[in-house]
Copies of this chain bind each other. A is one copy, B any other.
Amino acid sequence: MSTKSAPDRVLSLGEKVKASLEGLIGSGELPPGARLNEVALAKRLGVSRGPVREAARALEKTGLVTVILNRGAFVRTMGIDEAMQVYEMNSVMFGFAAARLAVACTGEQAMALRAFLAEMDRAIEAEEKDAFFAANVLFHERILAFSGNAVMEQVYLEHTRKLQLLRRRSFDRTGSMSEANAEHRRLLDAILAGDASLARQLGEAHTRSGRARFLSAIEYRDGLQLAPAAKRPRSQPAA
């Protein structure tokens, strides 16, 4: 049977449910603060409650949901203050990675980073915000990856993903994009020049700029973690 369509199962049901939940949360169908009804989700996804529970617990550790005993799992609401802290941590790690890369950057890596830069330039020109966003994320992630510290990379990825819960595309204006890419270019120059100290400084500063852009972007957009607040007997975890 060469036409074996089902690629068997390399993923447990729990992991598949987890992916589904991430999608539902990312798409906004499960807004921050919403409760994850186990039976409803299980029915909807065609599985039992077990895998749903496992997925919820896994997502709790990922930081996407909060689980309260006998109350259930809630889509996590990230406050601005916490987002600021994540940015701060990312800044430190990104700066370190940049410095590390400045002293040990292979030609292949440099080429890859340059390619992202070009792609972002192109996206800015074409005003393709999504393309820019994707390349931007990858540029940062690759720098972490190239730094050679897998642990730090994982922490960075995990928290960045969590962050994207809150800011769904804070690059509203094209101005932000070209501004950001200019910083990218300066950073890459420092890396290629082998100036670790400057690379670190620029890397940290760039993340802080990103934080500032994020802040100004959500300024009027507000509507943060405040749900309708009509009545929330089983819809809001703490207070």
Contacts and interface: CB of A to CB of B under 8 A. Distances in A.
Interface in A89-131: 89, 92-93, 96
Interface in A167-221: none
Contacts of A152: 85, 88-89, 92
Interface in A7-22: 10-12
Interface residues of A, number: 25
Contacts of A4: none
A93 B159 CA distance: 15
A34 to B, nearest CB: 22
8 contacts: A50-B50, A53-B54, A54-B54, A57-B57, A61-B62, A85-B152, A88-B149, A151-B159
B85 A89 contact: no
B85 A151 contact: yes
Interface of A: 10-12, 50, 53-54, 57-58, 61-62, 69, 82, 85-86, 88-89, 92-93, 96, 149-152, 155, 159
Contacts of A10: 69
Contacts of A61: 58, 61-62
A85 B151 CA distance: 6
B96 A92 contact: yes
Contact of A58 (B57, B69, B159): B57
Nearest to A162: B151
Contacts of A85: 149-152
Nearest to A153: B85
A6 to B, nearest CB: 16
A38 B224 CA distance: 42
Contacts of A50: 50
